[in-house]
Amino acid sequence: MTGTDETISWEDFEKVLICAGTVLRVEDFPEARKPAWRLWVDFGPHGIKKTSAQIKALYQPDDLVGKQIVGVINFPPRQVGKFQSEFLLTGFASADGVVITTVERPVANGARLV
């Protein structure tokens, strides 16, 4: 196996903190190299975290505010221009753009993927 086909251990998976959170605020990010939004998301006991997301092709701010999304919240912060991204918004690439990962029904903010 090579690359993404490599098997990982359960312990490796447990290290990745994948949680649900509710989008509170969305702002334009005109300084980004590719069209992007800045999002602020409530992850409950993990706090409010922000990220930069290249999802403008499929989503407007009104589509996102109030939506529960799925994010990886224990990566180190990443500087994107003058903005510090604090989590990774998960999604799937499609021909039309990135389709964000959401939950099928409401869960507590900060609920962990199991």
Range of the domain at 92: 17-100
How many domains, in total, are found in the chain? Answer: 1
pLDDT tens-place string over residues 41-91: 999 999 999 999 999 999 999 999 999 999 999 999 999 888 999 999 999
Residue 12 counted as domain residue: no
Assess whether pLDDT exceeds 50 at residue 1: no
Task: Give the Cα-Cα-Cα angle 59, 61, 63 (nearest 5 degrees).
Answer: 55
Asked whether residue 46 is domain-assigned, the answer is yes
Domain membership of residue 68 (yes or no) is yes
State the pTM of this model: 0.92
Answer whether residue 92 shows pLDDT above 90: yes
Q: Which CATH number is 53's domain given?
A: 2.40.50.140
Residue carrying the six token digits 């998960």: 90
User: Quick check: is 114 in a domain?
Assistant: no
User: Model confidence over 26-46: pLDDT tens digits?
Assistant: 999 999 999 999 999 999 999
Is pLDDT of 2 > 90? no
